[in-house]
Each structure stands twice: as structure tokens, then as C-alpha cells.
Amino acid sequence: MQNPITSDKLAALEQRMAALGIAEADLLEKFVRGSGAGGQKINKTSNCVFLKHLPTGVCIKCQMDRSREMNRFLARRELCEQLEAIREGKAVAKTQAIEKMRRTNRPRSRNSKNRTVADKRNLSQKKSMRRSPSGD
């Protein structure tokens, strides 16, 4: 199988890491079993890369490809993006957007459901009052 990561891409990633001050010694790298779709292959191989930047505490878990080497490359690239976002202040906006998605997808509380049902009943009663009084 041919390696899809070219030496140019590796060199560019190394330069980007150096510019951000990320050293390989600062990284804690583990290979864990992935999760999700993939069946037996996912359950048997440890090709999911867990990367932690020790000085900042930023953690990345990457399982985008079946290849361990490709996942290592993608995890480092994702780490660079995360650290750049933190430096530019965009990380806060991203986490806020994720939290907003969580809140909107969260199941409604019992009180909220009861309020909605009560509002529907009131609207139904209002509409029934608009009907013509004929007994047809």
C-alpha cells in the first residue's frame, strides 16, 4: 500500500509545529482502539491516535483513516489547528458553538413539556370559541 503522506506534507507540518513551538518531546501519544462503524477491523486494531500536548493540556483523538500513520499525521495537524485557534481566541467561540448544539439537542424538561401542552390546550380552546355556534 502506498503512503498518501508525501514528504512535502510532512515537512510543512514539521515547520508549522516548530512555528507554534510544539516539540515531539511535549507530546504524549497513545494508540487506542477506535469506536464507531467499521466492525471487526475497528475492534481488533489500535489505529486510533490519542495525542496530548503536555504544556497546554490540549487532547486530540483521531480516527479518520484506517492507517495508523495517516491518523498520526492528521492528529498532529488537528493539534496545530487547535493551538492556533487558542492563540487567536477562536477556541472559545468553537466551544460555545458546541455547547449551544448540545443544549438544543438535549431532551426537554418535564416542566417545559407540560408548559407546551398547556399552551396548545389554550390555543385549542381559543380556536374552538371562534367556530360558528350552529349545531350542524
Q: How many helices (H) and strands (E) does the chain have?
A: 5, 3
Across 2-17, average pLDDT: 86
Domains of the chain, residue spans = 7-98
**What is the model's pLDDT at position 74?**
93
pTM assigned to the model = 0.65
Say what percent of the chain tops pLDDT 90.
42
CATH number for the region 7-98 comes to 3.30.160.20
Is pLDDT at 69 greater than 80 in this prediction? yes
The pLDDT > 70 percentage for the chain reads: 96
DSSP alpha helices (H): ranges in 1-136? 7-20, 40-44, 68-88, 90-105, 110-130
Q: pLDDT at position 88, please?
A: 81
pLDDT score for 101: 92
Q: Amino acid identity, residue 104?
A: T
Average pLDDT over residues 120-126: 95
Q: Chain-wide mean pLDDT for the chain?
A: 87
User: What is the C-alpha to C-alpha distance for residues 45 and 32, in angstroms, rounded to an integer?
Assistant: 8
What pLDDT, on a 0 to 100 scale, did the predictor assign at position 100? 92
Give the tens place of pLDDT for each residue, 21-63: 889 898 999 998 887 777 777 778 888 999 999 998 999 999 8
**DSSP labels for 27-40?**
EEEEEE---SS-TH
Please report the pLDDT score of residue 94 as a whole number: 79
